[in-house]
Structure 1
Amino acid sequence: MKIVRSLVILLCITAGFAQNGTQSKGKSLTYPKVSVFPITDTTLDREYELYIKLPEDYATDTDTTYPVLYYTDADWHVEMVSPATEYMLKGVILVGISWQRNIAPEMFEKVGPHYSRIRDFSLKPAEKPEIQKKYQMGQAPKHLAFIKKQVIPFIDQHYRTDTRSRTYLGYSMGGEFGAYALMTQPDTFDNYILGSPSIKNEIPELTRLNAAYLAQNPVKTHGVHANVFVTYGTQETEVTGPIDAFVKLLNDRRDNYLSVQKEVIEGDHTTAAPQTILQSVAWLGRILDYESGRNAPSYIFDVSLLNRPFISTSPAKRNDGLGVGVLGPDGGDPKAIHQLAQEIASGKHGVYDSFLVYQKDKLLFESYYNRGRLDLAHPQASATKVYTAFALGRAIQLGYLDMEDLHKPIASFLPELTPEKFVSGTELVTLHQALTMRSGIRIPEEQYDAMRENPGNIQGQQQVQAIFEQSAPITEASQSFNYGMDPILVMQVIEAVVPGGAANFIKTELLDKLGISNYEWKTSPSGLPYAPYRSSFRSRDMLKWGQLAANQGQWEGEQLIPKAYLEKAMDRQFLTGDDDIFGGGPSVSKQGYGYYWWTADLKVGDNTYYCQSAQGGGGQYVINIKELDLIIVVTGTDNTNKTLQLIADFVLPGFAR
């Protein structure tokens, strides 16, 4: 907080000098670490300057590409943007764009050196002819063309830029110019910072531009991938209504890929500027951290949307134990998979966060969308059930259980229970039945909610006691497939038989051995790890679960899971019916179930491939296709996804040839 307060004071002082043009006598100062390069708008023969500041590690970290923050009114704002980013946004290239340098001498004398900003940043010509003759207003389209076609390519050519991460910052008329860019060519930048935009009289024009853009680019097929930060001062009463109307204009698009945040800053148009710079830089820092996975929040919906997807047909080798290859030369059809990736990015198939393809011990394709990130653990929902089944298999491999125990009653492993209080039939429910979701346990949801609201009554094995007391009686009819609370019973058995408890056992005997450290596995009200859901893993680490299954339980030469157990777990032990196949379509049939693994047949031409998958609500998949030595990982937040059908349509044909 001391740094922020000091920066506010410093920026207020520099802003006062900059905005008012106050100068003291003495030597001029070349701004530290900022290089100045001339650049000419070759279309209009207008000369400008670029104020460029590189990150401290730019010269030494030669493998890194950097996001770029472009800002207008550089003559004023360099003294605010540079120190703010020095402390709060270090890994970014700063590019300030000056006013025109070769303006007519009479304009320099009459208006000042900032004459060109009035012309370059304004949306439309002035209504009064004499003003229009003097200022030549309404040239925002020409200035945007200059930035898009000459400034940005110049920076990308001469510096190591991350072309997927460009930000625009403009204040006052610079904010008005940013609003124009956002409404007409939003893909110019990924993030827009619009400080106190001068749009008092521009809402009709912005509304017209918005309608024209949407007519050519419907939200359903051409969502705007942008994060927008808009501010105004508490004393700027004249622009409060117009800026609120502008924000409403953006929100009324109902575009899932457009994120808009509005902040009201203490002060008037001048005094609010320093705090606007600070708050917007802090906002941008959070976005860039989320995009890279640094300091990312644990809750997926707290993550900003990626403006542009990350798509790689030759994934980078990272220190995570996964081999890498190149899509095409090492397998698969690059054209078909890239087409699918582009369609996913456009939102055509719903909301996906990641999509990875792995074959023969090589990651061949890696992509992230929306809230997906390379280093962010993604909620797994019901895919957690499969990871729980792996934990049980590990207990069998280490001798804490054996394969015969799968057909023994769960109650026989839990000595703290009081069987005489059980509902009829619960004492006979076996591990095998719980692993196949056929225990017969039936408890109304509201009754189960009441249990969770009183965690003191369901600590440890008392959770099973409560379930066995409150279930409806177990009958042959009730022991049919039911997607309920059976995994809870399995986790209770693991807790009872392994030393040190289930949570420590899962970490040391599975996750540590797989090299998985970036994860979350929440604790349930019983004090045990959740078994049906509420774990989170990175997409690359989800591949490791798939590898462990594909390798028949072996990992780096060690048998972690018994082969016989995995065969049983991943076998199609019964059919669940084809009426409602999660992720299905016309090429997906014979949906079945094993030990929390889903199975299905995927038809490709005249061939059929047996598919085994861990699945979670929202679109989480670890898909194994043994015949092709293929593993596919998908994450998302859309229960209406058609992932298995898309795999059959776009992915399998390239590997089946």
Structure 2
Amino acid sequence: MKSITKGLLVLLLITTNNVFTQKNSVNETAGSSLELPQIRVVPIKDTKTERNYELYIELPEDYAENPDKKYPVLYYTDAVWHLEMLSGATEYLLEDIILVGISWQLDINEDLKNERGAHVSRFRDYSMSEHSNPEIQEKYQLGQANNHLDFIRNEVITYVDKTYRTDPNSRTYFGYSLGGEFGAYILMSQPDTFNNYIIGSPTVKDELEYLKELNTKIGPYESSNRNSSLNANVFIAYGSLEDESVTEPIDEFVKLLNDRRDGGLSVLKEVMNGSHSGAFPMTAVRSVSWLSSALNPIASDDNDISFWSIPLLNNPYINQAPEDRKDGLSVGKLSVGNKDQNTILEVSQEIFEGKYGNYDALLISHKNKLVYESYYKKGRINLPHGQASAVKGYTSLVLGRAIEMGYLSMDDLDKPLIHFLKDLDLTKFTPGADKITLHKALTMQGGLTIDREKWKEIENDSIRLKGQGLVQTLLEHSEPITDETQSYLYGNFNPMLVMTVIDAVVPGSAEAFIKKELLDPLGITDYEWSKHVSGLPQAGWQARITSRDMLKFGHLVQNRGKLNGEQFISEAYLEKATSGIVRPAIDWMPKNYLYGYFWYYTPVQVGNKTYDMTLAWGGGGQRVIVVEELDLTIVISGYDRDDDKIMKPIFETVVPAFAKN
């Protein structure tokens, strides 16, 4: 309701603004070109075709006051139709942007203009293909989108960039209806023209095959080749009352984009209330709000866009003196040598450019102060990020908290896990069930061997698996547990065994304990922690927290379990949890990594000295990295398939920068 109310308020304000603008234009511009407050009307010629157009340019209010500032630019076609709506929407939702409206051809054939209106050139300029009827084709000269795109790229954008202080990495196109079709053409033919595409109700019904052909010319996306990506944010919308013959082709175009599996492409489709024309006002408002999230490292509280649909940041956000956001983190300034500082900045630029894969954040804390904060792609300061298997490391901290509070002891780590679970029927267990201890489960050596097909039949049975029923079922269906089967085997069964014990020994429930005794004291309030089918909190994945909050977990490890000077996590437990206990014999694991209690350990060589590094690691690149001797905690978040490349600059650049100081 909040976002809807805000949207209606914005529309009301825009309507008021439009009335004011129209009144001024009538009083002051009779018989002349369009003149509006803050609008500059600039004649421009397409030198290739000798056609004359106009640009309607609106600068931000603070443009003159900030001579060193560069601004993003929003280009839009059908300028006369869209000027007022986009001007009003950006005024209230996105102030710091230059608006450039591109008119229809001015010196068009008078007979055509009188017959179809001043907008007649749009049929020629925005359409991809010639008409099948020779008479219509001769009359309107359809299918010249390629020429009009050349004009925009070579004349319009060049003029705007030379005349105004623009950000070349933040250009946006807005087009509606036939203008939306033109936007689809630009995206699929020369995607580097703009960084963001707003495509409203595009008339792509007869152009799908051509768009598919253009897609094949671009080629499939390859994660190792940045040039194979469209590198664009795309917002596509249409009206709920539009005919299926219009909406189905749009849906198919959206599918075409999504099927690319393009790591540099973000696509959001929305359906607006109304007909083809009636959906336009809300499309303008919603798309401008969406665009603001591509330009801002802070996600709007009103923005209900999912993580996977949020647009990629047009520029990296890098702060070497992070803001105190009153979230429980102390902040400071990056204090390393100038050469090291520049090298870290270069790493950030390389992350943004995708050299190491798809990453959203790099944060550095030194001496318990956040001194470097950077976000890329989908990363936002206040947006919880999926943690994948880093959750295993957090589950380990939950157990360490339970030990510190006396609900378990260090000796309990070597007791049979079933000793703590009183609701089990031991008579049905597989042989060797009592060989599973907390120590074995925490080091992925539980020894469970479950037939995959058999488990598929029961893994969603919430009644059978509820609470301790999960452990009961696992121990009934596992092959016998022996010394041979109790070797390292990565997966989520072992973490859930540990979570079941936590739930059994703490007062109340594991869910309440996690909130009250771990997250609340750390000031972690903006998070999602999913439930397993058993009803218990997930222990191995499916949680989301902000990158700043990831640092707080790292600080606990860096400070040997202390929080605000008081022992919070058992120090004895934490020392064991972050030590190298097991050498995993697994192909994807780096050879120098050892495994503790859901935390990894690896030595880091800097010059002639070796430092101990411990880390929580989740697939896609989620890492909480601690080098205690250097008072250093590093956080990385991302969604990369080959997620180990990011460690190269950590080992070779970031850690050495602090080892010198």
CA distance in 2, matches of 1:199, 1:451: 46
Please state whether the residue corresponding to 1:272 is helix, strand or coil. Answer: coil
Q: Answer whether contact 2:87 2:99 (CA < 8 A) is retained.
A: no
Q: Answer whether contact 2:599 2:616 (CA < 8 A) is retained.
A: yes
CA distance in 2, matches of 1:568, 1:481: 17
Q: Answer whether contact 2:293 2:311 (CA < 8 A) is retained.
A: no
Give the counterpart letter for 1:655 in structure 2.
F
- The farther-off stretch of 562-571 and 331-340 is 331-340
TM-score (norm 1): 0.76
Q: 1:540: which partner in 2?
A: 548
Q: 1:510: which partner in 2?
A: 518
Give the counterpart letter for 1:564 in structure 2.
A
CA distance in 2, matches of 1:27, 1:287: 34
Does structure 1 residue 628 correspond to structure 2 residue 630?
yes
1:354: Cα distance to partner?
Answer: 2.3
Give the counterpart letter for 2:40 in structure 1.
F
- The farther-off stretch of 327-336 and 507-516 is 327-336
Q: 1:423: which partner in 2?
A: 430
CA distance in 2, matches of 1:566, 1:529: 21
1:622: Cα distance to partner?
Answer: 0.9
Question: Of residues 65, 71, 78 in structure 2, which corresponds to 1:73?
Answer: 78
Q: Deviations over 1:476-522 (max 9, x none)?
A: 22222222412222212221222222111111111111111111111
Q: Answer whether contact 2:322 2:332 (CA < 8 A) is retained.
A: yes
Give the counterpart letter for 1:424 in structure 2.
P
Give the counterpart letter for 1:472 in structure 2.
E
Q: 1:148: which partner in 2?
A: 157
Matches within 5 A, 1:131-530: 138=147, 140-151=149-160, 156=165, 166-171=171-176, 174-175=179-180, 178=183, 182=187, 186-187=191-192, 189-195=194-200, 220-222=225-227, 223-229=229-235, 255-259=262-266, 272-279=276-283, 281-286=285-290, 288-289=292-293, 292-294=298-300, 295=302, 300-327=307-334, 329=336, 333-484=340-491, 485-530=493-538
Seen in structure 2, the aligned counterparts of structure 1 residues 351 and 529 have a Cα distance that, compared at 3 Å, is same
Q: 2:601: which partner in 1?
A: 599
1:541: Cα distance to partner?
Answer: 0.9
TM-score (norm 2): 0.76
Q: Answer whether contact 1:293 1:376 (CA < 8 A) is retained.
A: yes
Does structure 1 residue 652 correspond to structure 2 residue 651?
no
1:146: Cα distance to partner?
Answer: 4.9
1:606: Cα distance to partner?
Answer: 4.7
Q: Answer whether contact 2:385 2:544 (CA < 8 A) is retained.
A: yes
Q: Answer whether contact 1:34 1:51 (CA < 8 A) is retained.
A: no
Does structure 1 residue 97 correspond to structure 2 residue 101?
yes
Q: Percent identity?
A: 40
Q: Answer whether contact 1:266 1:272 (CA < 8 A) is retained.
A: no
CA distance in 1, matches of 2:568, 2:527: 20
1:626: Cα distance to partner?
Answer: 2.3
Seen in structure 2, the aligned counterparts of structure 1 residues 111 and 36 have a Cα distance that, compared at 3 Å, is same
Seen in structure 2, the aligned counterparts of structure 1 residues 555 and 265 have a Cα distance that, compared at 3 Å, is closer
1:77: Cα distance to partner?
Answer: 1.9
- The farther-off stretch of 65-74 and 339-348 is 65-74
Matches within 5 A, 1:535-614: 535-577=543-585, 580-582=587-589, 584=590, 589-604=591-606, 606-614=608-616
Give the counterpart letter for 1:293 in structure 2.
A
Q: 1:18: which partner in 2?
A: none
- The farther-off stretch of 414-423 and 43-52 is 43-52
Give the counterpart letter for 1:526 in structure 2.
S
CA distance in 1, matches of 2:338, 2:563: 23
Give the counterpart letter for 1:278 in structure 2.
M
Q: 1:531: which partner in 2?
A: 539
Q: Answer whether contact 2:200 2:283 (CA < 8 A) is retained.
A: no
1:284: Cα distance to partner?
Answer: 4.8
CA distance in 1, matches of 2:546, 2:13: 42
- The farther-off stretch of 377-386 and 316-325 is 316-325
CA distance in 2, matches of 1:297, 1:7: 17
1:74: Cα distance to partner?
Answer: 2.8
Seen in structure 2, the aligned counterparts of structure 1 residues 505 and 275 have a Cα distance that, compared at 3 Å, is same
Q: 2:38: which partner in 1?
A: 35
Give the counterpart letter for 1:609 in structure 2.
Y
Root mean square deviation, CA, Å: 5.2
Q: Deviations over 1:130-165 (max 9, x none)?
A: 999xx9x946534444543444676657xxxx9865
Seen in structure 2, the aligned counterparts of structure 1 residues 38 and 458 have a Cα distance that, compared at 3 Å, is same
Seen in structure 2, the aligned counterparts of structure 1 residues 455 and 570 have a Cα distance that, compared at 3 Å, is same
Q: Deviations over 1:264-308 (max 9, x none)?
A: 9999xxx83442453354345346458642356696434444444
Please state whether the residue corresponding to 1:599 is helix, strand or coil. Answer: strand
Seen in structure 2, the aligned counterparts of structure 1 residues 455 and 331 have a Cα distance that, compared at 3 Å, is farther
Q: Answer whether contact 1:121 1:173 (CA < 8 A) is retained.
A: no
CA distance in 1, matches of 2:180, 2:321: 39
1:417: Cα distance to partner?
Answer: 2.6
CA distance in 2, matches of 1:530, 1:206: 43
Q: Answer whether contact 2:615 2:625 (CA < 8 A) is retained.
A: yes
Q: Answer whether contact 1:225 1:307 (CA < 8 A) is retained.
A: no
Q: Answer whether contact 1:441 1:474 (CA < 8 A) is retained.
A: yes
Give the counterpart letter for 1:530 in structure 2.
Q
